[in-house]
Amino acid sequence: MKNVRLCTVLFAVLVAVLGLALFPAAAQKTPVLKIGINAEITGDIPKVGEATKYAAQMYVEDVNKAGGIEVGGKKYRLELAIEDNEAKAESAAKAATKLITVDEVIAIVGPQASKQAVPAGEVCNNYKTPMVSAWSTNPNTTKDRPYVFRACFLDDFQGPALSIFASQEYRFKKAAVLYDVASDYPKGLAEFFKKDWEKRNGPGSVVAYESFTTKDTDFSSQLTKIINSGAEFLFTPQYYNEVPLIVQQAKQLGWKKPILGSDSWASDELVKLCGKDCFGHFFVSHYASAGAKGATKEFIDRYKAKYGSIPDDVAALTWDAIGLIGAAIRNAGKLTGDVKKDREAVRNALAQTKDYPGITGTISFPPGSGDPIKCANIVKINDKGEFEFYKSVCP
Amino acid sequence: MTVFLQNLVNALQWGSFYALIAIGYSMVYSILMLFNFAHGDVFMTGAYIGCGIAMLLLGLGAAGLLVLPGWLVLGLTILLAMIVTAGLGMFIERVGYRPLREAPRASAAITGLMIGIILETGNLILLGAQRVKFPALIQPVTFELGGVFLTNQKIMIVVVALGLALALHQFIRRTRWGMAMRAMAFDYAVVPLMGVPINRIAALTFALGSGLAAAAGILFGMAYPVLDPYMGIVFGWKSFVAAILGGRGSILGATLAGFLLGFIEIFVAMVFPSTLRDFIAYSIILLILVFRPYGLFGEPYSVRLRL
């Protein structure tokens, strides 16, 4: 008896919930498109999840305020379905599955960190649902997955970007490199840079290619070599805890030329540890808040007014990731209402993205790849120790 | 030529740290016949203690309570950090080594490893994983001398390191305490029968070694102002190499071997690709040891090796 009563109650509740859920939707004339957010809202990197959510919500509000997104002469409202992946690989795959099968989203933004983005990308690709990670730089996230894209550039692009910058800005011909041979990221970047620089300036134009191993603190011998090699600048793709030592020792050995770095420099800790010695040097970044112009500045100002903090690179890249999806929906031609077919249409439009004006750079996807071709931002550490946008460099 | 001279300056600075740490290793090794593998981490702790004292003194200065010139702050920092770290060394000896003095040597050796790990992770718990910046107590002034770049810091580091090594050498040669230490190194079993308080001598040995390691830590912080909890490990190993290379119980031997290690590392990187630096440098040292197994200044000893 008890069970029957419980069932009745549950049924009533279900009807009520369904009714509530259905009625407003039915009352509104504009149909709804759902975009999934698979973000690191709890776990090790909650700031990343927060920035993702904030940027995506701001974008959706914008679109809906303007009456929705127009596809094939019909207007659609956007709605977010937000899932927390707890910054765990398993949860990310689960979250993606739920967004695809339960929420029936048309596309997914995130996960952001590669640890989560790689497994979630697998799920999305299997379910043929377009996914755009804003922040993941691991090649495997998009590799052989036609449905997975990203909004940021990859590590291997940073080398050429700096090589172009040094050639164009200073007309330099001779480069020196100092990197950690025992760590993947610096080693890879050093090699990419050397390859591109020698392609541009001929063999032997990297006049000093010096290395050290992780945990080394004294670079005096390498730097003495570099200083006497006649190099016009130094490229050092190291982390923020090593850069201060390198920069200070170089200065004390009489080096007065520019030092260029990679996006691993981009940490508030760098200026804290390095102080004035690092001022005036450059590095590559996805995005810089200080000195931003145009649409980027507008985004920063609005985000700041809305949430009370300056958007970080995750927020800016998420804005571009969801923007890419928005543009793809717009360009999908016509939506059928069958979510599987519509996902296919959005993915095809996404793959054909060309010169999308993102706030982190103009984005295009080359044929057969989810890794964008975009411009890199060169950031200068200014006299106040801020990371200031200096110049955009395009391949 | 300028490159050579420049690297000579580089090597002098780099060798200073090895020398100061190697002395501590060498003393403990010769007097107590044990490898204090925690010594590299004592160096690290000394650097952090120095950093804390320096920030405290600078903070007092900023608050207007105790305004001191930079060089005096540095001097006080070195002195106070040496005293505090010497206390730490004595504490390590008391809790970690004294109870194990009659235990197999392997037990005492791993005690050092464990104390090292405790110091590293303790620091990690206390201060977190982010790097700590060592405050610049004296502004670095770079000057050029015939194409060779020097800084006031570099000169200070080498002078202080050599001064401390020499002072310790004199202490061991000329004082009664030093004599007791030498006696203990000579024969550990007979010395107590002569009325020498071996517990006190052992504590003193640890105190002196740790004090020097603290001085090395602060000088290191001046030259490489980014501190991290694991910075002592590799440094410890390499200084240990220098201690053995110098010869058992020889303060001057350890000092010279420390500098030699610095020279070899720097000059190998000058001549060969820097990727091969440690590979070649330590092959050379291995070769030296093959021909001089007792180290550069060590004498063959027949004292019962209690290893």
Q: List pLDDT tens digits, range A377-393.
A: 899 998 988 888 888 88
The better pLDDT of the pair A139, B302 is held by: A139
| pLDDT of A362 above 80 | yes
What part of A 249-268 touches B (C-beta under 8 Å)? 251-254
Q: Which residues contact B16 (CB under 8 A, 6 or more apart)?
A: B157, B158, B160, B161, B162, B216, B219, B258, B259, B262
Tell me what pLDDT residue A60 has: 93
User: Which residues of A are less than 8 Å from B44 in CB distance?
Assistant: none
Confidence band, pLDDT 50/70/90 cuts, at residue A6: low
H-only helix segments in A102-242: 114-126, 155-170, 184-201, 220-227
d(CA B8, CA B6): 5
Question: Span A32-153+294-364: which CATH code?
Answer: 3.40.50.2300
Q: Per-domain residue ranges for chain A? A: 32-153+294-364, 156-285+378-393
Q: Per-domain residue ranges for chain B? A: 31-236
Tell me what pLDDT residue A305 has: 92
| pLDDT of A236 above 70 | yes
- The segments of chain B whose pLDDT lies below 70 read 299-307
Half-sphere CA count of A158, side-chain side, radius 13 A: 29
For residue B149, the distance in angstroms to the closest alpha carbon of chain A comes to: 5
Q: What is the pLDDT of residues A97-124, one digit of tens each?
A: 999 999 999 999 989 888 888 899 999 9
Looking at residue A79, its amino acid is E
Asked if the Cβ–Cβ distance from A215 to B265 is below 8 Å, we say no
- Judge whether A225 is closer than 8 Å to chain B, CB to CB: yes
| pLDDT of A330 above 80 | yes
For chains A and B, count residue pairs whose Cβ atoms are closer than 8 Å: 79
Tell me what pLDDT residue A360 has: 87
User: Which residues of A are less than 8 Å from B224 in CB distance?
Assistant: 217-218, 245
Tell me what pLDDT residue A4 has: 59
**Mean pLDDT in residue range A10-31:** 57
Mean pLDDT highest for which of A197-206, A332-341, B131-140?
Answer: A197-206
Residue of A nearest to B227 (CA): A241
Structure tokens, A218: 């004294």
- Tell me whether the CATH fold assigned to A32-153+294-364 matches the one assigned to A156-285+378-393: yes
Tell me what pLDDT residue B298 has: 74
For residue A176, the distance in angstroms to the closest alpha carbon of chain B comes to: 13
Q: Under CATH, to which class is A156-285+378-393 assigned?
A: alpha beta
Confidence band, pLDDT 50/70/90 cuts, at residue A224: very high
User: Which residues of B are less than 8 Å from A245 in CB distance?
Assistant: 224-226
Which residues is A39 bridged to in the sheet? A84
Structure tokens, B117: 């790990």
| pLDDT of A1 above 70 | no
- How far is CA B108 from its chain centroid? 20
Tell me what pLDDT residue A385 has: 86
Asked if the Cβ–Cβ distance from B231 to A222 is below 8 Å, we say no
Tell me what pLDDT residue B304 has: 43
User: Which residues of A are less than 8 Å from B266 in CB distance?
Assistant: 220-221
- How far is CA A330 from its chain centroid? 22
- Judge whether B7 is closer than 8 Å to chain A, CB to CB: yes
Q: Which residues of A182-200 are buried (b: 16+ CB within 10 A; e: fewer)?
A: ebebbebbbbbbbebbeee
Q: Which residues contact A180 (CB under 8 A, 6 or more apart)?
A: A186, A187, A211, A212, A213, A214, A216, A238, A242
Tell me what pLDDT residue B265 has: 92
Looking at residue B141, its amino acid is V
Phi, psi dihedrals of residue A283, rounded to the nearest 5°: -150, 165
User: Which residues of A are less than 8 Å from B136 in CB distance?
Assistant: 275
